[in-house]
Structures are given as C-alpha cells and as structure tokens.
Structure 1
Amino acid sequence: MASGSNRILDEFAKLMTDAAGTAQSVRQEFETAFRSQAERVLNTMDVVKREEFEAVRDMAIKARDENERLLKRIEALEGKLASSTTATGTTATGTTDKIG
C-alpha cells in the first residue's frame, strides 16, 4: 500500500510540475502579447520615449541657463552704456543734452 500511495504522490507531483511549467509559459506569452499591443497603442498615440524627453529637457535647461547668463550680460552692458552717456552728456542717439 505504501508503494501505491508513493506512486500516486509521484504522479501528482509530476502533474503539478507540468501545470506550473504550462502556467509560466502562458504567463510569458500573455506578457509578450500585452507588451506588443501596448507598444502599438503608444506608437499610434505619438508618445515620446523617455530618452527623447530627457534629452529635450536637458536642452531646455541649458537654454534657460544661457538666457539668464545673456540677460545679465545685457543688463551689465546697458548699465555701462547708461553711465557713459550720463558722464559725457550725450544721449543714446548721440546728441548732446543741453542744460538750461
């Protein structure tokens, strides 16, 4: 009787192993089908990939920093121009101011 129940348990264990293998292959097949379908949907929606987004974001950050640097430079040049025109008594158009 012991050998009979051992054989039943062995068969049951084999059946469970086969079922687990089948379930895993079904899961992998489902994941593959889901990924391909999701990729197809995203392609039709014209969604940007993460790498492309990060590259454009980095470019925008650099451009903003450059704009801030240039703005400071313009303000400094305008300050120099304003101080030099008041010191010489000329306006920005190059004419001399007449005081009273």
Structure 2
Amino acid sequence: MPIFRLLSLTGLLMFTAAASASSLVATTDTLVGALSEVAQSSSDATSSLRDNKVVLDARDDAAAFVASQGQIRGVQLEAALQHIRQQAPALQSDDLQLASAILSL
C-alpha cells in the first residue's frame, strides 16, 4: 500500500507542476502579445507621421519656429500641427515640442 500512495503522490505532483508551467506559458504569451501590439501601434503612428507629406513639408517652418522660440509661425507648420493633433488627439504636447519632433523626423 505505501507504493500505491507514493505513486499517487508522484502523479499528483507531476500534474500540479505541468498545470503551473502551462499557466506560466499562457500568462507570458498574453503579456508578450499585449506589449507587441502596443509597440506596433506606436510604431505605426510614428511611421505614418514620418511618411506624411504635410508634416515633412513643414520642416523649414518648424526650424524657424524652434529657432525663434515660437515667434515665427509658418503656414505649413500650422497645417502640420493641426494634422498631428487630428491624428493623435490624446497627444499632450505644446507647439514647440511638436515642432522639435517634426525636425527630428
């Protein structure tokens, strides 16, 4: 009878270990998938602005705006700022920060 108990205990421990490992793999897969989606969406947002003609055409105006500390505001920069704010309404950046970002594209 002790052999039966020992085998039962061993089987139960193996089952428990397998369930824990399975749970860890599922949790890890879920977290990695979520992080991957966030990275992809932010990459898509950046690349869409980087490839946008309105934003790229505003680089000279953005340079003048940054160099003058916001005193010179060109028409192309205004269009780009409006476009960026329409594309990313949750963005909490002022005009000088956005103009600097345009220059970095």
TM interval, shorter chain, is 0.3 to 0.5
Kindly indicate whether structure 1 or structure 2 has the higher relative contact order, using CA contacts under 8 Å at least 6 residues apart. 2
State TM-score, norm by structure 1.
0.45
State TM-score, norm by structure 2.
0.43
Q: Please identify the structure whose Cα radius of gyration is greater.
A: 1
